[in-house]
Chains A and B, each alone.
Chain A
Amino acid sequence: MLDTLAQEETDIFDDAAGTDPAVLFGAAYRSFAGPVQGYLKARGVDDPEAVTQDVFMAFYPKIDGLTGGLQGAKSLIFSIAHARMVDHYRRLERRPQLTPYDPQHDARTTPSAEDHAVELTGGAADMLAGLSEEHQEVLALRVVADLSIEQVAAIMGKSTGAIKQLQRRALQNLKAQTLSRNQANHE
């Protein structure tokens, strides 16, 4: 889907001068709404769909000063999404941890076969759960958001070398984690 639209959106952004910001906004939304939502989902943000809308509403007033074409818009959008994600986790830190008793979350029961099956197939969002913060962030930005190493470095405020290193370690950890998870599932 991205490929079929990509050329059209790139054209729109290439001759952006004089174009109505709403057109650029539409092109950006069609191109990046899915990846933004996927990124937020992978990072475990509550209600990723609503936050995606927020990200694009915050992106709209900044279209006027936008440079760099479609890639520039992508960088900006994911920078906003990254900031929202950071906000989310800061808010979580400040919030007192209230855990009312919920029998459904009581771990002292035997897991159902259905849950087990769902976990096998649909656990993509939790796939990064065991990794460290930075490893999660690098993988989400590189894989889900499809950003280049330079863009990821700019968003995370690190050098490209550091990002490469982080990425390699994140992939190694993910591999180890996937292996252990698969083994646990097979047992």
Chain B
Amino acid sequence: MSDTAGSRSDAVVDQLLLEAELDDDGQLRPALLQLRALGDVTPEPSAGVAALLQRAQAVQAGTPCDAVPSAAVPAPVDELAARRRAKRRVALTALSVAVSLSAGGAVAAASDQGFRDSFNNLHRTVTSFVTGTAPAAPAGNQSEEPAAPVPSVPAVPATVPTAPATAPQPGQPAEAAPSDVPAAPAKGTGESDAPGRQLEVPGAKDLPTAVPEDLTNGVGQQPQVPVPGPSDLHLPETLPAVPLR
């Protein structure tokens, strides 16, 4: 056996030296033979390999396969693929959980009136803080504003005071607002922006138009506030109270 193996090794080494066109000077050849001898030892099979070999012997000997319990043959597992699958599954699960959580949270927040109100309050507080007003001022703004601008309107035309008296009704201010030029921004920005803008330009002439917008936006309590407003037509003297803001 060693003879045939040796002759085959010789043949392989000879062929290699021939291909490389190297003359054999007695140095390289023994080294290559020694290197090749590394592959002569067949390792002892491990448990899994031994089970597979045993099965092979049983099949070759004609014994039915059932003689060797197939359970003895461990199912070879592709660990790398399994690990990749598991990693992908974890990522997918995390992604779907995050998406469903954020969707649920968004729906809950959108459907909750209290949340929207608190958000508006927060926005208002931040706006007032940024513009340098005391945080309590915005709350007072809405109640005072109807009183402040209403007198400013009658100050210019004499017949107007009747108009603010009817303004608190929901129908008329809506019609009057489009006719006024500055009404458009008040519409688009909604209630949250209205106080901020009014704070920035307290004495501007567009204030009266902004105020009816707010009044119509108020749910029902605010229309009652301006009603006494027109009756107190002497309030123009209280205008200096506005800069207190």
Contacts and interface: CB of A to CB of B under 8 A. Distances in A.
A143 B32 CA distance: 7
A151 interface: no
Interface stretch (B48-56, B90-98, B223-231, B235-243): B48-56
B55 A4 contact: no
A3 B45 contact: no
B200 to A, nearest CB: 61
B28 A146 contact: no
A127 B46 contact: no
B174 interface: no
B31 interface: yes
A39 interface: yes
A interface bracket (residues with beta carbon within 8 Å of B): 35 or more
A171 B15 CA distance: 13
Contacts of B13: 143
B132 interface: no
Contact of B59 (A20, A144, A168): A20
A154 interface: no
Interface string A77-93: 00000000000000000
A144 B223 CA distance: 99
Nearest to B24: A175
Interface in A149-186: 149, 164, 167-168, 171-172, 174-175, 178-179, 182
A26 B39 CA distance: 18
Interface stretch (A47-55, A97-105, A106-114): A47-55
Interface residues of B, number: 44
B136 to A, nearest CB: 62
A53 B35 contact: no
B217 interface: no
B175 interface: no
Nearest to B25: A175
B43 A143 contact: no
A16 to B, nearest CB: 13
A117 interface: no
Contact of B37 (A3, A4, A124): A124
B60 A38 contact: no
Contacts of B42: 30, 33-34, 37
A144 to B, nearest CB: 5
B39 A34 contact: yes
B19 interface: yes
Interface string B17-43: 101111000011001101111111111
Interface of A: 1-4, 20, 22-23, 25-27, 29-30, 33-39, 41-42, 48-50, 52-53, 56-58, 60-61, 124-125, 127-128, 139-140, 142-146, 149, 164, 167-168, 171-172, 174-175, 178-179, 182
* In the complex, the 7 A-B pairs of residues with the closest C-beta atoms, listed nearest first: A38-B39, A26-B56, A38-B38, A35-B39, A53-B46, A22-B56, A22-B55
Interface of B: 1-2, 4-5, 7-8, 12-13, 16-17, 19-22, 27-28, 31-32, 34-46, 48-49, 52-53, 55-57, 59-60, 65, 73, 76, 78
